[in-house]
Amino acid sequence: MLLSTDEEYLPLEFISNFKGAEKLLLEVEASLIYHYKPELNTISKKKANYDIVSEVHIQNFSKYSNFLNDNFISV
């Protein structure tokens, strides 16, 4: 989901420019890898490889864990 400039939530699937949506997902993935530095990911661990500056709100709707639920990360 994206929060638009008029503060409306927009599902990523609604972005008509697929390349733009794909780039956004890659940027968020790189920033999460850089921030959390998971052991099995080697790309994006040493430096922030992203161009988009934003804040990501992580919500976990799993019934098994609260992992990263309701966290904000600046990317």
Indicate the domain borders of the chain.
Answer: 2-74
Q: Is the pTM of this model over 0.85?
A: no
**Which class for 38: exposed (0-12), middle (13-18), buried (19 or more C-beta within 10 A)?**
exposed
pLDDT, tens only, 16-30? 777 877 777 787 788
- pLDDT tens per residue across span 38-68: 888 777 666 665 666 677 788 888 889 998 8
Q: How far apart are CA 6 and CA 38, in angstroms?
A: 35
